[in-house]
A = this chain, B = another copy of it.
């Protein structure tokens, strides 16, 4: 397999935690990696190859302008490595919009895909997360795009999480077909008309916000505005409840002692609800596979992100996405 191009400069903990994660992916999992960025800032990279890139797109920079103007940035060079056949996929914990724009502008869209979408895994009560898309690539969407999001999401749920026959739901504010915004009503009609059996999937109609962490659907499609609001709402909620819990655990010596005894029971929960477990979101619809990791990613998150990238390359995800959107409408 061609190496995974890792943006060494992107993310709150770059470059040290990114490089530590990349080294672990090579050593522990045998995945080939190439680092992209400024070698003079990287410190010890061990045996890892480096693609030099002199510029760094800041976390809060304007995505479009950055990608246009910073042609020697680590993100643009990482995407070019994929485009030019020097890497099989790219991974970045940097500026989300710029990561997306680099992948899209340098590697191009998969034939037949109207718009790439960000697919995120939402943990639930069982071991299988729900795939939410679009989690923020397209603030405004046409109803037809949501159909493709469903088709691509079903492929992703199957290849990434082993869901045999993914159930695709449409995010709305009531379960009945007539409920929701004009976009949702139109999308419902289009989704309902798809031959989902040919996609090896199933359309289950509208789902609600509470189903994102539930068991109802394997894939939930929505526009990128709603999806991003929902995702950040979830993140904020989980973070808040966990902070409040930790505070309660430390509130008295008795509580502290009791909570230590609870640790073995709580650790699996932490694992399940921790975003790092899933290694980040995946951009679906670009020719070059692209993993968008959380800005706060540490080395563990990077190991997982690089592993997901490698898995999706080996699964020929891109070909399967192309097949899903082209043949079954």
Contacts and interface: CB of A to CB of B under 8 A. Distances in A.
Contacts of A208: 229, 232, 236
Nearest to A248: B265
Contact of A226 (B125, B213, B229, B243): B229
A315 interface: no
The count of identical subunits is 2
- What size tier do the contact residues of chain A reach? 35 or more
Contacts of A257: 261
A238 B241 contact: yes
Given A208-B236, A226-B229, A255-B265, 14 more contacts: A125-B240, A139-B180, A139-B181, A171-B229, A172-B229, A184-B225, A209-B236, A210-B233, A210-B235, A213-B236, A229-B230, A234-B237, A252-B264, A257-B261
Q: By DSSP majority rule, is chain A's interface helix, strand, loop, or mixed?
A: helix
16 contacts: A136-B173, A140-B181, A173-B232, A181-B225, A209-B235, A210-B236, A211-B236, A212-B237, A213-B240, A222-B229, A234-B237, A238-B241, A248-B268, A251-B265, A255-B261, A255-B265
Contacts of A242: 241
Contacts of A180: 139, 225
A31 interface: no
Contacts of A211: 236
Given A213-B240, A229-B173, A236-B210, A255 B251 contact: no
A161 interface: no
A244 interface: yes
A182 B180 CA distance: 18
Contacts of A231: 209
Interface in A239-274: 239-245, 248-249, 251-252, 254-255, 257-259, 261-262, 264-266, 268-269, 272-273
Interface in A186-237: 208-214, 222, 224-226, 228-237
A124 interface: yes
A270 to B, nearest CB: 10
Contacts of A244: 125, 269, 272-273
Nearest to A245: B269
Contacts of A214: 236, 240
Contacts of A258: 258-259, 261-262
Nearest to A257: B261
A201 B124 CA distance: 39
Interface in A20-37: none
Nearest to A139: B181
B225 A226 contact: yes
Contacts of A212: 233, 236-237
Nearest to A268: B248
A131 to B, nearest CB: 15
A204 B259 CA distance: 39
A308 to B, nearest CB: 23
Nearest to A184: B225
A121 to B, nearest CB: 15
Nearest to A60: B176
Which of A232, A235, A255 has the largest count of B CB atoms less than 10 A from its CB?
A: A232
